[in-house]
Amino acid sequence: MSRARRPSPGRASSRQWQYLAVLVLLLVAVLWQRSGLPEPGGEVTSPERTATPTPAASASGSSSSARPSPTFSSGAFAPAVVISATPTGMEVARVVQVIDGDTVRVELDGRRSLVRYIGLDAPEVESTRQAGEPGGNEATAFNQEMVAGREVHLERDISDTDQYGRLLRYVWVDGVMVNAELIRQGMADGREYPPDVRYAGWFYDLEGLARREGLGIWSR
């Protein structure tokens, strides 16, 4: 009488390990698919990040809700920095002279005063006191196009005037902050002049955009 041959213990153990390996591979494949990760060797892509700058509260204590957050819209050179409504709680003046890319003369409360834009530095234009710098004429012309003869809103930060008696202001016209637009179009570079740094981070981001796109002074 013949006896049934029992499988070798070693051979059975080998098959068990093979089955276990297959199960593990299947489990890994299912988990990988559910996780949404790309296949090995595939390209990893990420969505573009878009930041919307938000103005801080004004020196008068009004909150940002009084002035809607700036957004981007199409402009002649690059997206213009605009807000969705006319700023409130600011001084209203009329520009009577454009001095250069970052300074204008305005008529305010029946008086004429110089206004120095906060948070930027535009190239100098040639005068009897100083030599001109590359980009100075372009920055002045750009500023002229934006504000000459226009009604503007003046936003104060911390300081009222500088050491030369000029008013220090953020200048808005038709919902566009001129300071930011000059930086965005590469007509000026952003500068921090403490304590007036309300929009310093925003200006830094705008300068980065102008640099990457090679606009204005960054095209040289």
DSSP 47-109: PPP---------TT---GGGSPPPEEE--SSS-EEE-SS---SSEEEEEEEE-SSSEEEEEET
Q: Is 166 a catalytic residue?
A: yes
- CATH of region 68-219: 2.40.50.90
**pLDDT less than 70: residues of the chain:** 1-16, 24, 27-88, 127-128, 131
The pTM score is 0.64
Nearest to 118 by CA among 62, 202, 209: 202
Do residues 209 and 81 make contact, with C-beta atoms less than 8 angstroms apart?
A: no
**Residues in the chain, total:** 220
Structure confidence at residue 128 (pLDDT): 58
Structure confidence at residue 129 (pLDDT): 73
Structure confidence at residue 109 (pLDDT): 94
Q: Is 11 a catalytic residue?
A: no
Structure confidence at residue 28 (pLDDT): 59
Active-site pick, 124, 138, 181, 207 = 124
Structure confidence at residue 39 (pLDDT): 45
Active-site pick, 91, 105, 133, 166 = 166
Structure confidence at residue 125 (pLDDT): 82
Structure confidence at residue 81 (pLDDT): 60
